[in-house]
Every structure is written in structure tokens, then in C-alpha cells.
Amino acid sequence: MRHAVLVLALTACSLKVDYTGTLFACDADGACPARYSCIDQRCVPTEPTPAACTTAVATGGDHTCVARKDGTAWCWGRNDLGQLGDGSTTDRVTPVRVGTLAGITAVATGNAHSCAIAAGGAVSCWGHGTSGQLGDGVMTDRQAPVDVKNVTGAVAVALGDGHSCARLDTGAVTCWGANDAGQLGDGGGTRATAQPVAGLTGVIALAAGGDTTCAVDGSHVAWCWGGNDNGQLGDGTETSRNAPTRMAIADAVGVAVGRAFSCVLTGGGVVSCAGRNDQGQLGTTTGSPFSDSRVTVSLRDKAVAIAAGDRFACALDDRARVWCWGEDGNFQLADSLGDNHAIPTLSSYSDAVELAGGGNHLCVRSKTGGVTCSGYDGRGQLGDGRRTTQGAPQAVPALAGVASLATGGAHVCAALGDNTVQCWGNNDSGQLGDGTPTQRARPTRVDGVTDARQVVAGSQHSCALLTGGTAQCWGLNNTGQLGDGTTDTHGLARAVIGLSGIAQLAAGGRHTCALIGGTVKCWGENGSGQLGDGSANDSATPVAVAMLTPGIKAIAIGARHSCAVNGDGTVVCWGEGRSGQLGNGASAISHVPVPVTGLTGIDQISAEDDSTCAHRATDGSVSCWGGGGNGNLGDGAYSDRSAPVKVNLAGVTRVGVGATHSCARKSDGGVACWGASYVGQLGDGLYGGHPTPNVIAAFSGVRDVVGGDEFTCGLLDSGAVSCWGDGRRGQLGDGIMSRTTPVAPLLPCP
């Protein structure tokens, strides 16, 4: 959803700004309109005040729901299985009302389904239902709410991946849905209607996550049951339980269950956790990837409430502050760190009364009824209208006249018709070339490069081939990949030493190669022999690739391997080969070039990470080899291949390889992609992935297509650029990137 454009006239200048990331220059003195801040000389919209009209909040795998004070329920985020309850399967980046539900007092969310409690204690559910988790007596998905059978007097609902449980006003617990790990606690099988959990009375707290359920009874005893493969029940074993098992904890008052771990809160404000700990989700430095006995979380203050996400947990202290620990790669812990940590860290949330942990996001409700959220926003689950993935091609605004395009790990560079270069995306190593480490979600001019005719991008470095046949590079240089004779990282372009007459450049993970007069020279990392000089020594200056037949006409390099097309259309590769990326039928490293099996007539190759694809000019076919675990080799399998396999696609003119996917430009100007698509990198809007090519609908006029780590960009015949997939680091160029601090969902209040 796009928001209305604001046109604001100021005394010093006129500014046009919108909330989706279209940014305009600050005034000369740094002034911006109200509710906009000057950041990097651009007016950036500040967060709106959270809508103060909620009574409850819940977060699922990739979606969020709230109950409003008027008794309606609202949801936003991922919706492919109907988990938002608005009658569709369309993701929503801002809140939408759930059906016609009224009188709602509480909401709950599982991985891909949701439930709500009405004032009379009846329960309605919607979303994924193939395990019976919606409780309506059948096993099917529902895009709108259905009534749960056999449940009355509900006061709380807790949802896992495929099961649901309700706490009743009698103190009993009843559950329904998947029961493969005993998560229903009744010793039976999967069921689509609610059945009581025997032996539990006077229950005061209930939580579920994954395939595990926990409760606290009126005697302050904690009970857990269900999946226990990581020791998440905390009973000293890794044995799943199909009936409630008593925990050895006194004075329990609360529970929280994540994916493969659980936590218990005591009346004294102490939190202890058990289960998986690979991301620090147990809140202590145990030095072990899991613990089947509960360990005490290292909290500095007394906790009064706890919540768990998939791989993180948070505690609310008695001063309304929020402390979190565990996975933080998407800034879900709201501490601006972005790094996993096993010791609780104070978040930026304050004045909190309720916590809700999701797959990779966290939402907090304040005393005033306002909700703010932090973390991953790839499916719109933060509700602020600025999702960080795009499942279909989106134009990079205000970029035109592009002659050459390159994608790196999480950044993009474009050489323009005027021979300047613009880059955008991740910049923590200076790979955007503007002299700063600041991420850019809009194209930014590279300083000091004025005569470029080609650009290439590695994992964290970039290079330009100049019109005179020399090269400049910038960015990370820890292995000498800039070729300037040093290992000093540079945020400004530096000349590659001793090269001239360059016809083509290629950049990989941490090395770079140049095609010169039919021969190849490489520089940078060489631990796997990717420089091809017969050694395993890194080089900060170009070295000649050994044993190449003169007349090389194209090159491409991946993370730790390199390939070249011979003048006769055959292909050779060198470097890392343990995933089959050398294409010679073996799975071993080679420090010198080896022939790729069975390829002839090749005119173009593309490589990224541990896979390579080659285009045959004579018949427009594509063959791929190397790492194929994501279906990215296009042969219908999810397996590595040490020799080329043919992609079931005809009429191809160019191929572009990403880290987990591949795309091809067809002769009609359309694009087909295959492989992983969990962040939309295939461009078909499905976020599902497939191991054979699928044409992107309504996308044509493409000249070239290039793949990054988890995103793709297409260069159009018009000189414009469109990108799709993961944009968390700004690599889609649409002005949007991950936020390190909480944002406010755009929830309307009555």
C-alpha cells in the first residue's frame, strides 16, 4: 500500500516526501517538514505515534494481530495461508480487519494460524488448518474465521506450529490440532476438535510454541508436554511426552515457549530456560548448543512477564522495561546491536505492559494501548507499510541510463551512460565507494570514478573497468581483493596495480579476476586455489592464471572458484570444488584450471557462491553445476552436481546466478528464475521456490539479469533497473531497509 504524497512548501525550499521511502534533500540549514528528520542530507519520515487503541497483541511466524478497544481484531503481515483472516491470501503491509469479528477480548497467533476469543469465551480461528489446528472439525485452511467446536468459557489461547490450546474459566485446558509429538497432552492422535488435557486443574498460565506446550497450575507448579528433541521440556531428558510432565521449579507464575526451547517465570522474578541454545536463547553462556535442564537467565532486575519468539526471548521487568536475549540478526531485540547475544540486553522499549515474540520480530504494547514492533519486516509483519522484501520486480526510482549492472553479496553497482557509477545497499566495508560505511537504500554516486564502462561486485567489494582498459576497486580488502598491493580496506576507489588492456572484470567472494588479451589474471583470496596460479597464497596484486589456453573470451567467479570460456566454446574452472563447482565430475580443490565436462559452444557464464551456469549460443540452452541444495541448478532436483546438468529452458540469451537461485533472460526479453525464493528472489510473488524455471509474469524488455546473495536485479532495454528479493540492507534501491529501532504499525483507531 502506498501512502499519499505530501507536498510541503517551506520558506527556504519545496520538499516532496512520502512515507514509503521516496526521500528529498534537506534545506541548506538541515531543516525538514514536521515529522521528518534530516539524515544523510535527506528528509526521512520519522515514526508516527503508535495508535493507542489496542487491548492485546500477538505475533506469529511472519504476521501480527491485535485486539482493538472496540472489540474488533486486526492483523497484518504474511497471508499465504489466510492467517490474517481478511478473506484473501495476499500479504498486508498495514493492518486489516479480521472478517466481521466483534467483541474480541484476546488474540493468539501460531506459525501460520490465528485465533481470537470473544467476550462470551467462544473461540474463532483462521489460517493454516491442515492439521486440525483451527478446531472446526475439518483439516483445511481458512481465509476467514471459523468457530472452534467444543470450546466455551475460554480466557486465553496458546498456539504452536500446528496445534492450539485454550485455558478455560474453570482452570482446565483443552487442545486440538497436530499431536505427532504429544503436544495435545492427551496421549491420542491428531484431532480437529478440542479435547481436554487430563490431570491439569486451576491453570493460571498457558503457552505453546513449535510442537511443545507448557502450563502453570494454581499451586504454582509448571507442567510441559510435547516435543522434547532439544530438551525444551526441561525434565533432564530429550524424550517427548504425550502427557503433562511436572517441572522441578517452585513458585512458577508464567511460561513462554519458543521453537525448541521454553522458559519459566517465578513469583520472585527469576527466569529459567531449557532447550535449544544455538542463538543464545537460554539467556546464559552455557557453552552448549542445548540444555535439557533449566538454567537461570542472567537478568539484572526482577521480571514480571516473559515472552518467547522462535529463537529469542524477552522479559518485562517491574519498571516496565524490556530485556531480551537470543537471536538478533534482524534487530528484533530492539537494542540496535543486530548481533545474537546470550546475556539479556536492555531494549529501547519502555512503558511496556505486554510482550509478543514472533518468528523474527517482536511487538510490545504500552500502558496507553499503543503497539510498536521491531525485527524482520519481509512480509509486512511490522505493519508500517515498508516491507523489506519484494516478491516481484520493483523499479529502482530515479535511476536511468544504466549501461552495466552488477550485484554483490548485499549491494548493487551500476555504470551509467555518462561513465559514472552509482551503488546502493550494504556498505559496512565501504563497497559503495562513497567514502562512508553508511548503508544506502537509494543509488549513491561512487566518488572518483568518472570513466567506467563496466562494474562488478564481490561479496563486500566492487570494481570498475575504465574506458582506457585499467581498473579501480573499493571496499573490503582483507585478502587483497582490491589489487592495490595492500590489504587495507578502502571506501574510495583505488587503482589496480599493473593492469592495462582489460577486456572484462569479474568479482567473487573475496577475489577478483581480469580478462586481458585472451589471458586471465586474478588477485585476492587464494586459500582454495581460486587465483589459479598453482598456489594457495593470497595475493594483493594480480597474478597470472596458469595452464590456460590462449584466447579466453569470458570469465566468471563465485565465492571460492573461478571459470573461463575458451575460444573454442569449452569451459575450464579452478579453485574450490567440494560442492562440484569445478564441473569436472570430481569434488575436490584444484589450484589450476581443469576442463568442465561435456560443454561446447558456450559464449557466456555466470557464477555466484558455489554454483555456475553457462549459456550455449547455438541453441539458447543453459547448463549448471555445483551447489544445488536450493534447486538452483534448474534440473528439478535439490542436489549438488559435479558435472553440468541441462536446465529445462529454451530460448535463453543471458544467464545470471545468485547464491541460492538463478535467472535467465529469454529471447523475448522476459525472465525465468529457479531455486530458493524464501525472500522473493525468484520474482514470481510466491515466496515458495521451485527447482525448475518459472517465467516472471508481466516483466519484459530486459537486457540483462544478475543475481546477488538473496536478491535479483534486471537491467532493462530502456536503461532502467528493477530489483526483487531481499532488501534488508537497502539492496533493492527502493528507499527501504531494515530499521534498527521499533516502528509503529499503521493501525487505524475508531
User: What does the pLDDT look like over 68-127, one tens digit per residue?
Assistant: 999 999 999 999 999 999 999 999 999 999 999 999 999 999 999 999 999 899 999 999
What is the spatial distance between Cα 547 and Cα 146, in angstroms, rounded to a whole number?
69
**Domains in the chain, start-ordered, CATH in brackets?**
6-45 (no CATH), 54-387 (2.130.10.30), 390-726 (2.130.10.30)
The whole-chain average pLDDT of the chain stands at: 94
Q: Residue 724 above 60 pLDDT?
A: yes
Residue 607 confidence class, pLDDT cut points 50, 70, 90: very high
pLDDT of residue 29: 74
- What's the CA dihedral at 646, 650, 656, 657 to 10 degrees? -30
pLDDT of residue 257: 98
DSSP element (H, E) containing 77? strand 73-77
Which of 308, 351, 369 has the alpha carbon at shortest distance from 333?
A: 308
pLDDT of residue 288: 85
Q: Residue 65 above 70 pLDDT?
A: yes
| Radius of gyration, alpha carbons of the chain | 28
How far, in Å, are 470, 531, 552 from residue 541 at the CA level? Answer: 14, 11, 21
pTM: 0.92
As a 3-state breakdown, the chain gives helix, strand, coil percent values, each rounded to 5, of: 0, 45, 55
pLDDT of residue 526: 98
Q: Which amino acid is at 306?
A: I
* H and E: helices and strands count for the chain: 0, 60
Residues 6 or more apart whose CB falls under 8 angstroms from that of 261 comprise 230, 232, 273, 274, 275, 276, 277, 281, 282, 290, 308, 311, 313
- Provide the b/e sequence for 714-738 (b: ≥16 CB within 10 Å): bbbeeebbbbbbbbbbbbbbbbbbb
Which of 165, 150, 164 has the alpha carbon at shortest distance from 113?
A: 164
What are residue 256's DSSP bridge partners? 263
pLDDT of residue 678: 96
Can you list the positions of beta strands (E) in 437-501?
440-445, 452-457, 461-466, 471-475, 490-495
Other Cβ atoms within 10 Å of 708 Cβ, number: 30
pLDDT > 90 in the chain, percent = 92
Per-position DSSP letters for 145-173, written without gaps between them: EEEPTT--SEEEEEE-SSEEEEEETTS-E
What is the spatial distance between Cα 166 and Cα 158, in angstroms, rounded to a whole number?
6
pLDDT of residue 16: 42
The cell numbers describing 244, all together, are 503433562
In eight-state DSSP terms, residue 446 is P
Contact 432, 448 (CB under 8 A): no
What is the spatial distance between Cα 491 and Cα 473, in angstroms, rounded to a whole number?
9
Q: Which amino acid is at 198?
A: A
pLDDT of residue 45: 64
Contact 552, 569 (CB under 8 A): no
What is the spatial distance between Cα 63 and Cα 111, in angstroms, rounded to a whole number?
8
pLDDT of residue 14: 37
Average pLDDT over residues 230-250: 96
How far, in Å, are 25, 31, 35 from residue 38 at the CA level? Answer: 8, 7, 10
What is the spatial distance between Cα 410 and Cα 59, in angstroms, rounded to a whole number?
28
User: For 286-313, how does the pLDDT look when each residue is reduced to its tens digit (9 = 90+)?
Assistant: 778 999 999 999 999 999 999 999 999 9
Burial class (CB in 10 A: 0-12, 13-18, 19+), 437: middle
Q: Residue 315 above 80 pLDDT?
A: yes
Alpha helix stretches (DSSP H) within 525-661 = none
* SS3 of residue 229 by DSSP: coil
The cell numbers describing 91, all together, are 500479504
What is the spatial distance between Cα 648 and Cα 327, in angstroms, rounded to a whole number?
39
What is the spatial distance between Cα 65 and Cα 601, in angstroms, rounded to a whole number?
56
What is the spatial distance between Cα 742 and Cα 382, in angstroms, rounded to a whole number?
9
pLDDT of residue 369: 96
User: For 423-451, how does the pLDDT look when each residue is reduced to its tens digit (9 = 90+)?
Assistant: 999 999 999 999 999 999 999 999 999 99
Contact 588, 557 (CB under 8 A): no
Q: Which amino acid is at 637?
A: A
User: For 15-39, how does the pLDDT look when each residue is reduced to its tens digit (9 = 90+)?
Assistant: 444 433 444 567 777 777 766 667 6
Which of 537, 583, 585, 589 has the alpha carbon at shortest distance from 556?
A: 583
Contact 577, 544 (CB under 8 A): no
How far, in Å, are 64, 205, 223, 503, 710 from residue 219 at the CA level? Answer: 33, 12, 11, 78, 50
What is the spatial distance between Cα 161 and Cα 196, in angstroms, rounded to a whole number?
19
How far, in Å, are 379, 406, 491, 692 from residue 723 at the CA level? Answer: 16, 12, 24, 21
User: For 348-398, how does the pLDDT look when each residue is reduced to its tens digit (9 = 90+)?
Assistant: 999 999 999 999 999 999 999 999 999 999 999 999 999 999 999 999 999
Residues 6 or more apart whose CB falls under 8 angstroms from that of 121 comprise 151, 152, 153, 154, 155, 168, 169
Contact 422, 443 (CB under 8 A): yes
Q: Residue 8 above 60 pLDDT?
A: no
User: For 182-238, how does the pLDDT look when each residue is reduced to its tens digit (9 = 90+)?
Assistant: 999 999 999 999 999 999 999 999 999 999 999 999 999 999 999 999 999 999 999
Residues 6 or more apart whose CB falls under 8 angstroms from that of 406 comprise 412, 413, 414, 455, 456, 457, 462, 507, 706
pLDDT of residue 330: 97
